[in-house]
Amino acid sequence: MAPELLNLLLVRGDRVGRIVEVEAYGGERDPASHAFRGPTPRAAIMFGEVGRLYVYRSYGVHWCANVVAHGDEGAGAVLIRAVEPVAGLAAMWPARPAARREVDLASGPGKLCAALGISADDLGADLLGPASTVRLLDDGMAPPNEPTVGPRVGISVATEVPWRFSVPGSPHRSRPW
């Protein structure tokens, strides 16, 4: 379902971004996944109710946002890797002091959390709940028929698994393919 998230809107307060790049992580059989070692305290949410927000700290510096997604059993999550700023840009600029161009505002998993203001406060938010701090919205733009597919980024194991998806040609993606 990771590519199905492409072109959906990620909303926090008055800041809105359109998802242009995602990366899927599996359960206990995916050595690159936080769920690989079972439902540990951090990873337990990946084994729970789908459609919730999983936020974790990356390199002690950044927050990363995931959508919990899996079948009837098992575990998994989809990392949001990049969004295109759609609304609330005025609040995004001061949250991203290093960004000088609009395309750099949210073109990475840590960047988009900073731009939208997503942090541990939002951990576990029901992304489809109308009252949640962080929400996923469908404004009618369908996901791309043929998303760009490639290997996952920043991991040292199972790098051959082609579970990175993006909107073809979007200038807001995190890294060149």
- Pick the binder of DNA from 15, 52, 70, 96 (CB under 7 A): 96
Note whether 93 binds DNA by CB under 7 A: no
Amino acid, single-letter form, for residue 63: W
Cβ distance to DNA smaller for residue 110 or 139: 110
Rounded distance between C-alpha atoms, residue 112 and residue 72, angstroms = 30
Note whether 64 binds DNA by CB under 7 A: yes
Amino acid, single-letter form, for residue 21: E
Q: Extract the tokens encoding 60.
A: 């002690």
Using the Cα atoms of residue 30, residue 4, residue 77 and residue 117 in order, give the sign of their dihedral. Answer: positive
Window 98-157: residues binding DNA (CB under 7 A): 98-99, 104, 108-111, 114, 120, 152-156
Cβ distance to DNA smaller for residue 149 or 161: 161
Rounded distance between C-alpha atoms, residue 176 and residue 87, angstroms = 25
Cβ distance to DNA smaller for residue 54 or 165: 54
DSSP H or E segment with residue 15? strand 15-25
Cβ distance to DNA smaller for residue 27 or 147: 27
Window 29-48: residues binding DNA (CB under 7 A): 32-35, 37, 40-43, 46
